[in-house]
């Protein structure tokens, strides 16, 4: 029970002050991460999540200043993750315009911070953030995520 309370508190802390659309984006990204199937022998780890999120967020932030430049993660496994996550977020951005791109950048920066902080506090677990998402998802049941975000 205490672990469940800590899990909820951790996720709520990362999502505090989110708008409704930002909360939906967070859950969309979390669902994507839980369903992501990395190549064999390359399990998804928190560092990959943080790097991919940072690179995509930086791309959105740069675009908001009128510069088109695609930032890339340093590791190959983070690049693979980013290359699969980008189309999903591009679709959301295309539907919601500039404000959706700003929201995506905010949420991705929060996912980056959460992945780094949870991994750091887990004392050696390379999948602490991913495991936290999975645990919360299992405890909530198998509700389907919303396919469309409100504008």
**Widest Cα–Cα separation across the chain:** 48
**SS3 state at 146:** coil
Q: Which two structure tokens, joined as six digits, stand for 119?
A: 């991994």
E strand or H helix at 48 = helix 46-64
pLDDT digits (tens, 9 = 90+) for 9-61: 888 889 999 999 999 999 999 999 999 999 988 899 999 999 999 999 999 99
The answer to whether 115 and 50 have CB atoms below 8 angstroms apart is yes
Beta strands in the chain (DSSP E): none
Q: What angle do CA 137, 126, 71 make, to 5 degrees?
A: 90
Q: Report domain extents, the chain.
A: 2-140
pLDDT digits (tens, 9 = 90+) for 85-114: 999 999 998 999 999 999 999 999 999 999
């Amino acid at each position: 029970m205490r672990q469940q309370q800590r899990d909820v508190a951790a996720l709520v802390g990362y999502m505090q002050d989110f708008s409704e659309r930002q909360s939906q984006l967070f859950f969309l990204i979390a669902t994507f991460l839980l369903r992501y199937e990395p190549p064999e022998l390359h399990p998804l780890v928190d560092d990959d999540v943080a790097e991919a999120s940072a690179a995509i967020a930086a791309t959105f932030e740069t675009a908001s200043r009128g510069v088109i430049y695609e930032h890339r993660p340093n590791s190959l496994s983070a690049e693979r993750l980013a290359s699969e996550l980008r189309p999903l977020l591009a679709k959301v951005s295309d539907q919601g315009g500039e404000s959706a791109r700003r929201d995506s950048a905010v949420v991705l920066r929060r996912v980056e911070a959460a992945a780094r902080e949870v991994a750091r506090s887990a004392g050696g677990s390379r999948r602490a953030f991913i495991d936290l998402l999975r645990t919360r998802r299992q405890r909530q049941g198998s509700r389907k995520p919303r396919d469309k975000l409100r504008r």
